[in-house]
Chain A
Amino acid sequence: MSDSVRIISIIEDSYDTKTFEFQWEEKVSPGQFIMVWVPGMEEIPMSLSKTNRIKSITVKKIGKDTQKLHDLNLGSPIRIRGPYGKGFDLKKSRNMLIIGGGVGTAAIIPAVKETGADTIIGARTDKDVIMDEVAGKYTKNLWIATDDGSRGFHGNAVQLMRKKAEEKEYDMILACGPEIMQYHLYNACVELGIDCQLSLERHMKCGAGVCGCCVMDDMRVCKDGPVFTKEQISKMKDFGTSKRDECGRSVKL
C-alpha cells in the first residue's frame, strides 16, 4: 500500500514537465493514481504514466509542491501510497478514441499502450505537447492539436475530436485533461451519441475514500473515480461548475 521508492530515471518532457520513473511491484491499472510525498512538501495526487513493473509519474510544475518534486535527483527516495481509484474500463469498446489534454496526457498513456487506440494530444502550444513520442510508439493514429496552431491541428482537442468523429465511427471516448476541456468533450459526446469515460480531479486528502473531501455531488473522485462513466457524469451537478475547497465549501469553477 505505502512504500518508499527511489527514482531510477528522470525524463524531461517539456520546459515545465518531468517524468520520474521508479520500480514498484504493486499491480496498477490504467487511470489509477498514487499519493506522493517527500519531506518539505504537501502530499499530492499523481496519475501513473507507466503501469508496468517500472512505474512513473509525470509532473507539471505549477506550484510549490510540484516544484519540490522537480528538484528531486536520480536516486532520491519518494514516499508513495496507493494505487487508488477506479481506472479506465478498456473492455467496453470496440473502437475508441483516447484524448489527453495538457498534463492530463500522462494519465491516458497507459491506456494508449494497452489498446493501441487512436489518440489525440491537445496542448496550448507546440512546446506544451508532452509524451507524443511514447504515444506514437503504441498507436498508428496520433493527432496533435494546439490552441495556437503551432503544431498539428489549429484548435482545441474537442474541436479535433469532432472532426475525427465525422471521418470515423467511434463508440467510446477516453479522456483526461482540464475540466473545461472535459466539459465541452462531454457535451460533444452527448450530442454525437458517443459513450465516454472521463478522468476527473478534485482536492484530495486521504485518497482512500474515507474523508469525503474530494466529492463531486455524492461521488468520491479518489475512490468511485477518478474515471467516471458518461452515465455517472450526467448526474453530477458539480461537473464543470463547482468544486469543494479544503474546508469543504462549495466554490464556483
Chain B
Amino acid sequence: MLVTSVGKLRLERPGMVASGIMDETGPSMVRMLRSGAGAVVTKSIGSEPNPGHPNPTFTELKGGYINAMGLPNPGIELFGKEMEVASKSGNIVGSIYGSSPEEFSMLAGKMEEYGAVGVELNLSCPHASGYGMELGTDPAVIRSIVSAVKSAVSIPVWTKLTPNTHMIKDLAIAVYEAGGDAVVAINTVKAMVISPQFGKPILSNKFGGLSGPAIRSIGVRAVFDIRTAVDIPIIGVGGISDWKDAAQYIMAGACAFQIGSAVGTKGIDVFETVHSELERFMKDYGYGSIKDMVGVAHE
C-alpha cells in the first residue's frame, strides 16, 4: 500500500532520511534503513574533506532547529568506504555539492560508481558560501548543472531546491527543461538567532537554515506551487514529524517525502510511526495507494 515511485525508482516506503541527518557514515546509514526509511539521502558530499563551520553550528528554537553546519563531510574519495557499507543494505541516494557543472558531474559519477540509486544535487544549502543556494537561485545555473550531470550518469538525478526565493516555480521549470528526474523541496529557510544576553548572533556563521515544524507550511506551499508549474516527480521535505504532515505534502503533489529534524525530536523510530499511521489513514479514508493521494488538493 505504501509503495511509491519517484520516476523510475521504486520505493517500498515513501519516507526517506533527509540529507544531513545520520547519514555521514556507513553504519549510521544502515541503521536508518533498518529503522524503516524507504531510502537514505546521504550527507551532502563535496570534492574535498570539509570540517564545516566552527561550533556553535546548531540550536533548538521555538518550532524547530537552526543550523549552519557548513557542509562538513569527508570528501568524495573517502566517502566510497561509507557507501560500500551502506549501499548493500538498501536504497542510498547520494547528495552532492559543488561549484561548477564539471564538479557536480564528477561527484555524481563517483556516487553512481559507489552504488547510489540516484543523486540529489544540493543547490539549496543556505549557509555555505559559493555553494548551494548561492547557485541554486538562478534558473540558468540550475539548467547547466542539471544537464551536465544528466549526461554524466545514468542513475536518476534529483535537484533539491531552496525556498529562499520568490521564483521557486522557475527553478523547478529549469530542472524540468534540463531533463532532471525529480525535484526535492525544500531545503532549510535562511534565518538567524541572536542572544539577547550577549547581543550577538549565536551561530558562528551568523546565518543558518531553519528546519522543523516552523517551515512545514512553507514547504507544502512550495510543493503545491511546483506541481502547478511542471509535471515532474516531487519529493516533499520540511517539518514532517507525523502522518498528517506527510499526507499534506503528498496531497500538495509529492510522491515521496523526507524527514530530517524529527529524527532528533521524535527519535529514529519516526519512520516506522509515520509509515504505519499513514497506512492506517489511507485505509480509513479509502486511498488504495500513495499514487491515489498525490496532488488531490489540486482537484
Contacts and interface: CB of A to CB of B under 8 A. Distances in A.
5 contacts: A39-B195, A42-B54, A79-B202, A248-B73, A250-B81
A38 B202 CA distance: 9
Interface string B242-275: 0000000000000000001101100100000000
A249 to B, nearest CB: 5
Given A206-B264, A247-B72, A248-B43, A44 B55 contact: yes
Contacts of A250: 25, 81
Interface in B39-98: 43, 49-52, 54-61, 65, 67, 69, 72-75, 78, 81
Contacts of B57: 43, 205-206, 211
Nearest to B17: A212
B20 interface: yes
Contacts of A111: none
B268 to A, nearest CB: 8
A218 B86 CA distance: 11
A77 B264 contact: no
Interface stretch (B27-35, B180-188, B222-230): B27-35
Given A37-B56, A249-B74, A77 B25 contact: no
Nearest to B197: A4
Contact of B58 (A42, A44, A206): A206
A215 B25 CA distance: 8
Interface of B: 20-25, 27-28, 30-31, 43, 49-52, 54-61, 65, 67, 69, 72-75, 78, 81, 195-198, 200, 202, 204, 260-261, 263-264, 267
Main secondary structure of the interface of A (DSSP, over half): loop
Interface string A77-99: 10101000000000000000000
B195 A205 contact: no
Contacts of B72: 205, 213, 246-248
A218 B60 contact: no
Interface in A193-240: 205-213, 215, 217-218, 220, 223
Contact of A217 (B27, B55, B60, B67): B27
A1 interface: yes
Contacts of A215: 22, 24-25, 27-28
A223 B57 CA distance: 17
B27 A208 contact: no
B75 A79 contact: no
B198 A218 contact: no
B264 A247 contact: no
Contact of A213 (B24, B31, B260): B24
Given A208-B264, A210-B22, 10 more contacts: A1-B60, A35-B55, A42-B55, A42-B204, A79-B197, A215-B27, A220-B22, A220-B28, A246-B72, A247-B72
A38 B204 CA distance: 11
Contacts of A44: 55
B205 to A, nearest CB: 12
B195 A4 contact: yes
Nearest to B62: A1
A208 B263 CA distance: 10
B209 to A, nearest CB: 12
A61 interface: no
Which 3 pairs, one residue from A and one from B, show the smallest C-beta to C-beta distance? A246-B51, A218-B31, A43-B55
A218 B197 contact: no
A164 interface: no
B20 A211 contact: yes
